[in-house]
Amino acid sequence: MRLEGKVALITGGGSGIGLASAILFAKEGARVVVSDLHEAVVLEAADKITSAGGEARAVTGDVSNSAQAASMVSATVEAFGRLDILVNSAGVSARNALPEGSSPEDIWDKVMDVNLKGTYLMSWHAVPEMEKNESGSIINLASIMGLVGYPVGMGGGFNPYNPSKGGIVQFTRNLSIDLAQKGIRVNCICPGYVETNLTKVLTDDPESLRKLEERHPMGRLGRPEEIANAALFLASDEASFVTGAPLIVDGGYTAQ
């Protein structure tokens, strides 16, 4: 068991990469707190874990709200006595951030609030608990779109998703340096396109799916479990000399 004795808090844990990470971490011995905005999905996620013999709790909260971010951390410590791993997986895209017809400015603010500010706030409240243990691992979900721009014709110039994910990459670097001598590692994962709720509107359209698959040299999109495997490595002691790193898991997308 690679995470035996560890306690992990995973935001966005009700679906996609967050859910896959929660299930995998529990299989590897971690006690897991699954958080999301919606109670039904986190209860279902926690039930999946406990039904398989793992230990899990469900909490709800908005990562972009400082009080609620603090409450999620407090709930984790109250449930399991400590916090060793934080996975900042909660995120939105411009496509699903707000109802159709919302202004570009409101969409920008929402994406930045959830993706970048949420990562910042969860980390801010988690670090003091990790400092008590003189160890910890923070894993931020960035994206290849935090490293490159959208291709020509995709209308990405004013899309807030890329800047939000690029900000996560840089926040990861900055925080990792600050915490390195405190035994806390901070890394981020930069996935390619993955089959999740965030990409469903793209993958449901056969032509859009074909174009996306063609942009990945491996000829397919990623699966949430494949990103979870990368998160497991970064959470484990096997990554003890890894900090400040953007780990690219993209089927070759950015190698072109």
Residues with catalytic roles? 161
SS (H, E, C) the chain: CCCCCCEEEEECCCCHHHHHHHHHHHHCCCEEEEEECCHHHHHHHHHHHHHCCCEEEEEECCCCCHHHHHHHHHHHHHHHCCCCEEEECCCCCCCCCCCCCCCHHHHHHHHHHHHHHHHHHHHHHHHHHHHHHCCEEEEEECCHHHCCCCCCCCCCCCCCHHHHHHHHHHHHHHHHHHHHHHCEEEEEEEECCECCHHHHHHHCCHHHHHHHHHHCCCCCCECHHHHHHHHHHHHCHHHCCCCCCEEEECCCHHHC
**Structure token digits, residue 80:** 């399991």
Contact 90, 12 (CB under 8 A): yes
Query: What's the CA gap between 173 and 243, in Å, rounded?
Result: 8
